[in-house]
Structure 1
Amino acid sequence: MARAVPASAPGGAAKPLRIVARVHAAPPEHNAGAEHMLISMLRPLVERGHDVSVWLSRYGKASREYAYRGIKVVPLASRLDFPTAVRRADVLLAHLETVPSTASLARGYGKPLVVVCHNTHRPTFRDAAAGGTALAVYNSQWMEREAELFFAEYPKAIRPAASLIVRPPVFADEYATKPGKVITLINCNPEKGGKVLKALAERMPDQLFLAVKGAYGEQILPDLPNVEVVDHVRGEDMREQVYARTRVLLMPSSYESWGRAGCEALASGIPVVAHPTPGLCESLGEAGIFVDRNDVAGYEAVLRKLLTAAEYRLASKRAKARSAELDPAADLAAWCSAVESVA
């Protein structure tokens, strides 16, 4: 694959940096959108010659250090010396539940901290505002606006020294394929729309559905003849095992700060029918087909309309156009320069 960003950038680091990320879980065992966003952001840093390692804070199946997409991942069970890695680091990076503990280490060892924010919940901004954050990364304009509201509400909170928007990077050529024939939901927990999938499958016995088990949450897996259930799929296998089989992707989520799976589907011209969360409205843009998640009849009407060749061609064309608009190269170039500048 072509480089995501240039090998060097004006004002970038004069020497390779040691970048240490602390996260609770990582692919290929844990394949949620937040983790794949982080991996996609770390890859171009590796391409620019930096030493990047991801240290896990929860126990998983792995017990030895392994490489994923060129990035060194250190499981908690390996019992390697994380404090020593912190002492040697030039930059620390954290997201989700690891931010408070990593921020404490950053302050203790005098290291710059980068916080990647993955949702708009108040604890996300509170943790990033605990003091000492050199760079806060927001995944959307919506998240940036929510952060501004937080700081207006809590004027004593310590703003990060700098902030940047990096939309969850999707390298389209790693996902693009010829769409298939089924209607798909990825992660069948109630918040992502498991009940909607079940209701639609019952209303549309003539249509095949694919239910992909998610990385977290209770899974609603319909026991119906027109629904195929598949286990949790690794990120690198999504193209062949999911998108190559999918004609339409469902995203009736109650909450999405962005919605990476939808953007992955757009790369193949797969229409996405989604609940209009602020994040999905921003990520899918004019390519999104928005229906309230409580309107199952509305979802059915849209899906039946997309069964016609003419309607599908138009929706697919919009999907591919939006995928092109979401090319991550510029965001990633700015991201790498920002990380290099805090060291």
Structure 2
Amino acid sequence: MSVGLNASILRAPRTGIGHYLAELVAALSVSGELQVNLFTGFGWQSELPAAPLPGYSRWAGLAKRWVPNAYRVRRWIEQKRFEDGLRRQPVDLYHEPSLWPFEFDGPMVMTLHDLTHVHYPYTQPADRLVEIERHAARGVERAQRILVDSQFIGDEVCRYYGVPAERVVVAPLGCAARFHPRTAEQLAPRLQALDLRPGGYLLCVGTLEPRKNLQLALRAYERLPAALRQQYPLVIAGMPGWRPEQLAAPLRRALAGGQVRLLGYQDDTSLAELLAGARLLLFPSLYEGFGLPVLEAMASGTPVILSGSSALPEVAGEAGFYIDPQDDRACAEAIRLLIEDQAHWQRLREAGVLRAQEFSWERCAAITASVYKQAVGC
């Protein structure tokens, strides 16, 4: 079976969906049963792009600012390229891993990772939100099968779009091999360059946007005794998101104190080492369709303090330290406990490593391949 996959998101630095796509394609290729063709936005190819397109984020930002109806113009151009390639090399099935499926006259599978555009529309530019709503609804209507990362999102898709449950399939995400426990000696070169010590900092990971609830993390951190903040800086790793001005004032105050550090986007290797070296991951997100950093932290031997909401309990299970994402006092108490109570920290560390072993990209790929066969047979 030949499958066409929209891989245009890999032009940008990889975040959640980009990692999903890259790991899924690699796992699907192992069996040799599928021929996967990737649409990059410019054309079709069989190999994953080795790196993001240089300067893509900057040029994309300029286009959005200066080109009228930039999203629609780009989409029209890409649709033509998409169709031209398929005329030369047809595929049996089209898989759209995001919210913007192309027009395709054949069986289609769509992955819906979350419904952020429904619950948090203010996290998207207005013109982009219009296009998301239009393309997503049309894609859900056309798709023979809809893949979701969690049962939580599956239930949301059924309720919001009125999709029959038999069309929705849960394919939990996996964890790349680079996420694993590491010794202090293994971590020393990377962390020393950042003036950090193994086990001596707290970590937040995620795009800097309101949904990730960084404000709560900052307020909770400010509640810690000065001596603990001096010993355990709060390190934030993530790309700027939409409407960063909502975080500007709290971040400026936190950064001015010198105990909160903003690292920006981290490549795969750097992030894996940062996760393995942290005392804990603080992940108070208000809404997640899965929460990949939670799984990656657990696999790295790092306990996680996280919200007990949306899909996060499906990922962390009993290995997570759950908090109310609105309660900064309880969050501060949880941080302090995992710093000061070594036995409790060790129990969560061991439970997290075991929990992470229940997830794999091989399993995700096997479920996905099965869904492909179902969709073609519809």
TM superposition score normalised by structure 2: 0.71
The 3-state SS of whatever aligns with 1:85 is helix
Q: Matches of 1:64 and 1:329 in 2, distance apart?
A: 25
Does the 8 Å CA contact 2:14/2:52 hold for their aligned counterparts? no
User: Aligned partner of 2:235: which letter?
Assistant: L
Does the 8 Å CA contact 1:189/1:214 hold for their aligned counterparts? no
Change in CA separation of 1:215 and 1:90 when aligned onto 2, cut-off 3 Å: farther
Change in CA separation of 1:327 and 1:95 when aligned onto 2, cut-off 3 Å: closer
Does 2:10 match 1:26? yes
Change in CA separation of 1:235 and 1:52 when aligned onto 2, cut-off 3 Å: farther
Equivalent in 295, 304, 321 of residue 327 of structure 2 = 295
**What is residue 113 of structure 1 aligned with on the other side?**
108
TM superposition score normalised by structure 1: 0.77
Change in CA separation of 1:338 and 1:317 when aligned onto 2, cut-off 3 Å: same
Does 2:231 match 1:186? no
> As a proportion of its length, which structure holds more strand?
1
Q: How does 1:159-170 map to 2 (within 5 A)?
A: 162-170=167-175
User: Aligned partner of 1:135: which letter?
Assistant: R
Equivalent in 333, 337, 341 of residue 366 of structure 2 = 333
**What is residue 225 of structure 1 aligned with on the other side?**
258
**What is residue 215 of structure 2 aligned with on the other side?**
195
Does the 8 Å CA contact 1:175/1:239 hold for their aligned counterparts? yes
Change in CA separation of 1:96 and 1:333 when aligned onto 2, cut-off 3 Å: closer
User: Aligned partner of 1:305: which letter?
Assistant: L
User: Aligned partner of 1:181: which letter?
Assistant: G
User: Aligned partner of 2:285: which letter?
Assistant: S
Does the 8 Å CA contact 1:176/1:267 hold for their aligned counterparts? yes
**What is residue 46 of structure 1 aligned with on the other side?**
29
Q: Structure 2 unaligned segments of length 5 or more: list them.
A: 57-73, 119-132, 183-197
The 3-state SS of whatever aligns with 1:143 is helix
The 3-state SS of whatever aligns with 2:100 is helix
**Identity rate of aligned residues, in percent?**
18
Does 2:245 match 1:212? no
Q: Deviations over 1:117-169 (max 9, x none)?
A: 111466597344323x1221011111222233346xx4xx6x59843211122
Q: Matches of 1:237 and 1:65 in 2, distance apart?
A: 28
Change in CA separation of 1:96 and 1:69 when aligned onto 2, cut-off 3 Å: closer
Over the aligned positions, Cα root-mean-square deviation in angstroms equals 3.3
How much has 1:91 moved relative to structure 2?
1.7
**What is residue 6 of structure 1 aligned with on the other side?**
none
Q: Structure 1 unaligned segments of length 5 or more: list them.
A: 1-12
Q: Matches of 1:190 and 1:332 in 2, distance apart?
A: 32
Q: Matches of 1:71 and 1:318 in 2, distance apart?
A: 34
Change in CA separation of 1:339 and 1:298 when aligned onto 2, cut-off 3 Å: same
Does the 8 Å CA contact 2:99/2:136 hold for their aligned counterparts? no
Equivalent in 90, 94, 97 of residue 95 of structure 1 = 97
How much has 1:251 moved relative to structure 2?
0.9
Q: Matches of 1:150 and 1:198 in 2, distance apart?
A: 33
Q: Matches of 1:86 and 1:135 in 2, distance apart?
A: 21
How much has 1:64 moved relative to structure 2?
11
Equivalent in 167, 174, 177 of residue 178 of structure 2 = 174
How much has 1:233 moved relative to structure 2?
1.2
Q: Matches of 1:149 and 1:288 in 2, distance apart?
A: 28
Equivalent in 245, 249, 268 of residue 300 of structure 2 = 268
**What is residue 250 of structure 1 aligned with on the other side?**
282
Q: Deviations over 1:197-242 (max 9, x none)?
A: 32233233332111112363326543131122212012344212x2
Q: Matches of 1:160 and 1:82 in 2, distance apart?
A: 30
Q: Matches of 1:256 and 1:243 in 2, distance apart?
A: 19
